């Protein structure tokens, strides 16, 4: 048993990369929840932002990993799906004063939309990792500054089957037409692409021996957000995030695989994307 969860993975990735992180979450009033709160405290998160639901258990997941390092995940979301707009309301100032707000879809869509509205109205950069994959409204998508779908998520959002760079570019262009400012389509071992008003740029992946791809996307998003808050250009932020994700797939588990800033810097000093 190891700590995980999309939001938690992304927050831990951001804080280990030396980000200044305010992480809002909800756990159950059970052993898993108490253990997670202790873990979050050790990582450096504010305890008043880790809420407890007295009726629902802490979210858990069963993860199967193939010999190639690929995974299949079954999630019982529990208290995750009880993180509601009323829970977020007391912390509105944190959203308004943030440089970046990072969201994913393992919380209720109404909560995602509520936070997106606050960020949009206050000109806060909103990064949306649209995972687990689901359809999203144009009203939500137009408020997104940066979206980071993988092939499956990009396909679902646009109706364009993403199988290669060309189809990824078409899907990214479709998302830009909805009003999103920047699109990063992550392509696993094939790297990623960035599409915005400046055009399209492809990024190759770092070649490593994959052991377990669990949380790689979360690591990418969390470290990407940290780099953006440090006002790095998107191209440099993507390279930084790709290095962190590459490190993570060489280790087993979700949060145990998340690298520190020192590990990322050392990796970048020794490797180039190929």
Which segments within 85-151 are labelled E, that is strand?
Answer: 100-103, 125-128, 146-147
d(CA 219, CA 208): 16
* 3-state SS class at 202: strand
The catalytic residue among 53, 87, 212, 218 is 218
- Give yes or no for a contact between 261 and 240, defined as CB atoms under 8 angstroms apart: no
Q: Is 265 a catalytic residue?
A: no
d(CA 178, CA 53): 36
> Which backbone phi and psi does 126 adopt, to 5 degrees?
-110, 120
CA-based radius of gyration for the chain: 17
Write the CB contacts of 189 (distance below 8 Å, at least 6 apart in sequence): 205, 207, 210
- Give yes or no for a contact between 69 and 249, defined as CB atoms under 8 angstroms apart: yes
The upper half-sphere exposure of residue 32, i.e. CA atoms within 13 Å in the direction of its Cβ, equals 20
The upper half-sphere exposure of residue 208, i.e. CA atoms within 13 Å in the direction of its Cβ, equals 26
CA 257, distance to chain mean position in Å, is 15
In which residue are the tokens 């949009």 written? 120
d(CA 140, CA 179): 10
> What residues act catalytically?
218
């Amino acid at each position: 048993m190891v700590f995980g969860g999309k939001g938690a993975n992304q927050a831990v990735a951001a804080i280990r990369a030396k980000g200044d992180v305010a992480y809002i979450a909800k756990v159950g009033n059970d052993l898993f929840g108490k253990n997670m709160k202790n873990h979050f405290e050790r990582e450096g998160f504010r305890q008043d932002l880790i809420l407890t639901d007295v009726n629902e258990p802490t979210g858990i997941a069963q993860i199967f990993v193939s010999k190639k390092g690929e995974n299949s995940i079954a999630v019982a979301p529990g208290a995750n799906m009880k993180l509601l707009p009323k829970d977020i309301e007391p912390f509105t100032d944190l959203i308004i004063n943030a440089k970046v707000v990072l969201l994913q879809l393992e919380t209720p869509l109404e909560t995602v939309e509520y936070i997106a509205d606050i960020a949009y109205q206050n000109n806060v950069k909103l990064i949306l990792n649209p995972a687990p994959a689901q359809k999203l409204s144009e009203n939500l998508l137009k408020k997104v500054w940066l979206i980071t779908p993988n092939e499956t998520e990009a396909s679902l959002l646009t109706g364009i089957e993403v199988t290669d760079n060309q189809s990824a570019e078409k899907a990214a262009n479709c998302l830009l037409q909805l009003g999103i400012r920047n699109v990063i389509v992550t392509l696993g071992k094939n790297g990623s692409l960035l599409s915005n008003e400046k055009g399209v740029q492809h990024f190759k992946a770092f070649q490593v021996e994959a052991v377990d791809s669990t949380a790689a996307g979360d690591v990418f998003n969390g470290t990407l957000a940290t780099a953006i808050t440090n006002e790095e250009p998107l191209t440099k932020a993507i390279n930084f995030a790709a290095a962190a994700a590459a490190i993570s797939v060489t280790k087993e588990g979700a949060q145990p695989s998340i690298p520190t800033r020192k590990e990322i810097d050392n990796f970048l000093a020794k490797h180039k994307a190929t």
